[in-house]
Structure 1
Amino acid sequence: TEDESRDYLAQGLQSIWDENKRFLNPQEYPVDLSKACWDNKH
C-alpha cells in the first residue's frame, strides 16, 4: 500500500548519514560497480 511504501522510504532515508543527504556541499558517497556494470557504463 501507499502507507507501507512511505514507511519503507522513511526507514531507508534514516539509514543514510546526514552528511550524504544535505544539498549544499554533500559528502561524496563511494559506490563500487561490478565489472559487468563498469564495462556496460564505459
Structure 2
Amino acid sequence: MSSNFLKYLSLSPVLAVLFVSAALSAFIIINWFYPNLLALGQ
C-alpha cells in the first residue's frame, strides 16, 4: 500500500509536467495553424 502510494507521488509530478507541456504545445500549434480560430471570440 505505502509503496504504491510513494510510486504514485513520484509519478504524479511527471504526469503533470507532461500534461502541461502537451497542452501548451497543442495550444501553440493550433494558434500557429489556425490564427483566426482563437480570435473569433474577441
Please, what TM-score do these two structures have when normalized by structure 2?
0.45
Structure of higher CA gyration radius: 2
User: Of Structure 1 and Structure 2, which has the larger fraction of its residues in helix?
Assistant: 2
Please, what TM-score do these two structures have when normalized by structure 1?
0.45
